[in-house]
Amino acid sequence: MTGTQLLTEELRSRGYRITPQRIAILAYLYDTPGHYSPPEIYEHVRQTSPGVTEATVYRTLEFLAENNMILPALNGNGHLVYEIAGHDHHHVICRSCGASVEIEHALLQKLYKQLEAESGYRLTTSHLTFFGLCPACQEKRQ
């Protein structure tokens, strides 16, 4: 069974319909690891699913994010991008050039536990984006 099939079966087991749009978006994000904007996802999905609208892609992305199938994140321009869920990690993005570095969740595990202990909340997502200046842009500014 493929990763996309596992994800669609998970949705089905929760009582949700499996639509062609949901399958197409999950397949694209699963098969092409990375972070993609809704317009990028729409451009790809409309090639494999003619007739899909941009509004449908936005609604489907929201639905999949609410069901923890995909993760939203902010890119260097402050726009939402999406990726398949399952790999807990975070990002540091340069505000000047947009370069991005992935940070493993283990580095922030202690902070997450402290936040839960102090707030009483149980954190259900683990995807943060930090912004700053990369070493190259810091050097350019000096």
SS (H, E, C) 2-66: CHHHHHHHHHHHCCCCCCHHHHHHHHHHHHCCCCECHHHHHHHHHHHCCCCCHHHHHHHHHHHHH
User: Which residues contact residue 15 at a Cβ distance below 8 angstroms, ignoring those fewer than 6 apart?
Assistant: none
The pLDDT profile of the chain, 142 residues, written as one tens digit per residue, is 788 888 888 889 999 999 888 999 999 999 998 889 999 999 999 998 888 999 999 999 999 999 988 988 877 677 889 988 877 788 888 988 888 888 888 888 899 899 999 999 998 777 788 889 999 999 998 8
- The strand order across the sheet containing 89-94 reads 100-104, 89-94, 129-132
Report angle CA 120, 75, 27 to the nearest 5 degrees.
90
pLDDT of residue 42: 97
Find the length of the chain. Answer: 142
pLDDT of residue 25: 93
From the list 93, 102, 126, the residue with the least C-alpha distance to 112 is 126
pLDDT of residue 88: 77
* C-alpha–C-alpha distance, residues 49 and 57, integer Å: 11
- Considering the segment(s) 1-86 as one domain, its CATH architecture is Orthogonal Bundle (1.10)
Tell the residue number behind the tokens 């402290």, with chain if given.
114
pLDDT of residue 5: 87
Cα distances from 31 to residues 84, 88, 92, 106, in angstroms, run 9, 18, 24, 25
If one looks up domain 88-142 in CATH, what number appears? 3.30.1490.190
Determine phi and psi for 123, rounding to 5 degrees: -70, 130
pLDDT of residue 54: 95
Tell the residue number behind the tokens 């699913």, with chain if given.
49
For the chain, where do the domains classified as CATH 1.10.10.10 start and end? Answer: 1-86
pLDDT of residue 93: 86
For the chain, where do the domains classified as CATH 3.30.1490.190 start and end? Answer: 88-142
* C-alpha–C-alpha distance, residues 79 and 77, integer Å: 6
